[in-house]
Amino acid sequence: MDTMLRSVAMSGYFDVTRRLGLNPVELAQQVGIDPGALANPDDRVSAAACCWLLELAAEKASCPTFALQMAATRQKFGTGVVNVLLAHKRTLREVLLAAAEFRHLLNEALAVYVEDAGETVTIREELVVDPGTPTKQAIELAVGILARHSSALLGSYWKPRAVHFTHRGPADLTFHRRFFGCPMEFGSDFNGFVCAAAELDYPNPTADPELVRYAESLATPLNVIGADSAALEVRKAIYLLLPVEQATVELVARHLRVSVRTMQRQLGSADTSFSALVEEVRRELAVRYMSNPRYPIGRVAALLGYNQQGSFTNWFNSRFGMTPRDWRKSQAK
């Protein structure tokens, strides 16, 4: 099943592409996207195709900051009932919770998780698309948009302690430093921000509870997902929770705000199971983490839920036909 997103998520694409001397219509057609649909904020387009489009545009323009330049065009929340709902929530924490609740209407491929740790909070973002789909630019766009929305909501009170990316950074970080204005860590084990917990609860000066209730009354009837979409939501939750050792059936169901029985019934209707999805995600994350030479094998084992490196080695060998060490050696050739 191809995950979809509203074209408003690609806002800024046409402006940045033209500014860099490229033809946005031709590039969209090259990856199989209808330029007309891309220009209509309420149309839905393939999330994977958008990932390819961003990578293609960045490559053609020799511009590693292409997606961040798109994010820089965002001055406020986009159009549509869900964005109105988000813009008028009382706090950034409520915005993030609402974005997770109405994710099906925004971007089916994007998952967001707020991890509290006392006085600090980690906001994790994950894109779940077909294996092999490049996501570097798309992740930078998603994290960049979150930064712009947070800044629009909190103004000078938005002061993240660090921004993290799982991919390697470009040679020149000038634009990144100016855009985020905080320390950066590339090659991290997650994408997103670390910030003070108090920032998530600072009051939004433009909050309007009545407008939020009205927007929710319009959005809720549309926020219905089928069996295939339910399986995708479980995969996204596992992507977020597995590296923090919380990818149990109970915690994933709680994250998705459904009962375990309901979740298992939905997965059965999609001809899959919770254990099968955990296995799929673990395999995909294994490739991601093992491809990063900065990660010791013991660290990869822990991120994939193994307390003992030996157990991870046995699992890895059964799935990839070689030990983790040999796999790394084969990738380095």
Tally: H helices and E strands in the chain: 19, 7
Distance of CA 219 to the CA centre of its chain: 22
Mean pLDDT is highest, among 90-94, 192-196, 223-227, for 192-196
> Which is nearest to 53 in space by CA: 90, 26, 21, 77?
26
State the DSSP code for 107: B
How wide is the angle at C-alpha 150 spanned by C-alphas 146 and 152, nearest 5°? Answer: 115
Joined together, the tokens standing for residue 324 give 């983790």
Highest mean pLDDT among 25-29, 214-218, 267-271: 25-29
pLDDT at 224 over 80: no
DSSP-based three-state secondary structure for 141: helix
Percent of the chain with pLDDT over 70: 97
Closest CA to 75 of 181, 148, 144: 148
Total Cβ atoms within 10 A of residue 1: 12
Work out the average pLDDT over 235-264: 92
Return the closest-CA partner of residue 139 out of 162, 161, 167, 160: 167
pLDDT of residue 79: 67
Which of residues 20 and 149 earns the better pLDDT score? 20
Q: Give the H or E element holding residue 61.
A: none
Domains and CATH numbers, the chain: 4-200 (3.90.1520), 227-332 (1.10.10.60)
Token pair belonging to 51: 């990932």
Could you tell me the pLDDT band of residue 5, with boundaries at 50, 70 and 90? confident
- Enclosing H/E stretch for 38: helix 35-39
Residue 121 is predicted with a pLDDT of: 94
Q: Tell me what pLDDT residue 74 has.
A: 84
pLDDT of residue 148: 92
CB 324 within 8 A of CB 312: yes
| Phi-psi domain of 263 (left: phi exceeds 0; alpha: psi -120 through 50; beta: other) | alpha
Q: Decide: helix, strand or coil at residue 98.
A: helix
261 phi and psi angles, rounded to 5 deg: -65, -45
Average pLDDT over residues 237-265: 92
Q: What pLDDT digit, counting tens, does each position of 7-18 carry?
A: 888 999 999 999
Q: How far apart are CA 119 and CA 130, in angstroms?
A: 36
Amino acid at 168: R
Tens of pLDDT along 40-49?
988 989 999 9
Q: Does residue 125 have a pLDDT over 80?
A: yes
Give the pLDDT confidence score for residue 227 in this predicted structure: 57
Beta bridge partners of 3: none
For helices 136-154 and 47-60, what crossing angle results, to 10°? Answer: 100
Q: What pLDDT shows up at residue 107?
A: 80
Asked whether residue 225 carries a pLDDT value surpassing 70, the answer given is: no
pLDDT band for position 82 (50/70/90)?
confident
Amino acid at 134: P
- The pLDDT of residue 222 is 75
Residues 6+ apart with CB under 8 A from 284: 131
**Burial of 221 by CB count in 10 Å (0-12 exposed, 13-18 middle, 19+ buried)?**
exposed
Q: Identify the band that residue 59 occupies on the pLDDT scale cut at 50, 70 and 90.
A: very high
Give me the half-sphere count of Cα atoms (radius 13 Å) on the Cβ side of residue 311.
Answer: 7
Report which DSSP code applies to 201. T
Mean pLDDT of 113-134: 90
pLDDT at residue 228 greater than cutoff 70: no
Look up residue 306 and give its DSSP letter. Answer: -
CA angle 53, 134, 252 (to 5 degrees): 115
Query: What pLDDT score was predicted for residue 52?
Result: 97
User: For the chain, what is the radius of gyration of the CA atoms?
Assistant: 20
Between 332 and 323, name the one with better pLDDT.
323
140 in Cβ contact with 163 (< 8 Å)? no
For the cut 90, the answer to whether the pLDDT of residue 58 exceeds it is yes
Span 80-85, mean pLDDT?
A: 82
